[in-house]
A and B are shown apart, each in its own frame.
Chain A
């Protein structure tokens, strides 16, 4: 897609804002619409946009598949470990009340942490899936579409 100047410029402008919006959705999910699932998908879509415009090889340098293979399980582990942390602190599994001195603060902390875990896994899985498809596609000429 070397000659699509408009697409390249516009996507270069948009990608930082997409990432910023994803972070906002991730950490503002307790107050407005949003949360880990949506933020993960938005985060992934920024990288997918980059890969579509600048080529998958460049995207692989920005976000290497090796890092993704690390991030996919890490999100789930963060989630599961939060549950164990609340057992260790004297509550039930995934009972965030005990995570801080005040039950409400504990709930806030717990929700923030597990949403982060959800976001990590979702974003990593989505980009991984895209890489898996894109890695098998031979370059398609514009005329073919």
Chain B
């Protein structure tokens, strides 16, 4: 069996497992199981990304998806609830929307270049320039790093600014200090919001 054929089999197997994991996430009501499966989903997609030659992306996905976001989700569950209260109901509107969108997308794939096509238009534009420049102008062996940091430095600056902003947003929403939590009742109020209630989550220092 050729190398490419082998990769295709690995690829299809991983994608099929991803689909089953996603279906399980949809069906399950116990949110802890959902959190564990989300971690598994990320790990599987990291494996798939390695098969698709995107080692840097796989690295990030494994660290972020299987690590940090699972921890964040468990933290959220500890602060909220562990089970979905409503039984999953079948929603015809949602199904119709999904079928229409999915149908349109699958119809669109008929115009897309075949999987792994070396003559795909996306490969012919700036990419040869980046690959050559990475060797001659920048001298950094990892092409992804040279595009990320040098050719597309503006993009990356923007992305870091987005991460910064999201961090500030979480700080404002949840606060950094524990003292707010200590006056019980301020946080677990139950239904209804008295307008003069103290606002938890200030970032006073």
Choose from A93, A111, A118 the contact partner of B146 (Cβ within 8 Å): A111
Chain B interface SS verdict (over half) = helix
Residues A130 and B56 in contact, CB atoms below 8 Å apart = no
CB-CB under 8 A from A128, the residues of chain B are 167, 170-171, 176
Residues A125 and B68 in contact, CB atoms below 8 Å apart = no
Residues 44 to 71 of chain A near chain B (Cβ within 8 Å)? 44-45, 48, 52, 65-66, 69
Residues B163 and A38 in contact, CB atoms below 8 Å apart = no
Residues 63 to 82 of chain A near chain B (Cβ within 8 Å)? 65-66, 69, 72-73, 75-76, 79-80
Residues A41 and B64 in contact, CB atoms below 8 Å apart = yes
Shortest Cβ gap from B61 to chain A (Å) = 10
Chain A interface SS verdict (over half) = helix
CB-CB under 8 A from B181, the residues of chain A are 135-136, 138
How many residues on the A side are at the interface (Cβ–Cβ under 8 A)? Answer: 57
Contacts A41-B67, A52-B71, A138-B181 given: A107-B174 contact, CB under 8 Å? Answer: no
How many residues on the B side are at the interface (Cβ–Cβ under 8 A)? Answer: 49
A-B contact pairs, 13 of them (CB 8 A): A30-B145, A33-B55, A35-B148, A41-B64, A45-B68, A75-B160, A111-B146, A121-B163, A125-B163, A128-B170, A129-B167, A132-B173, A137-B78
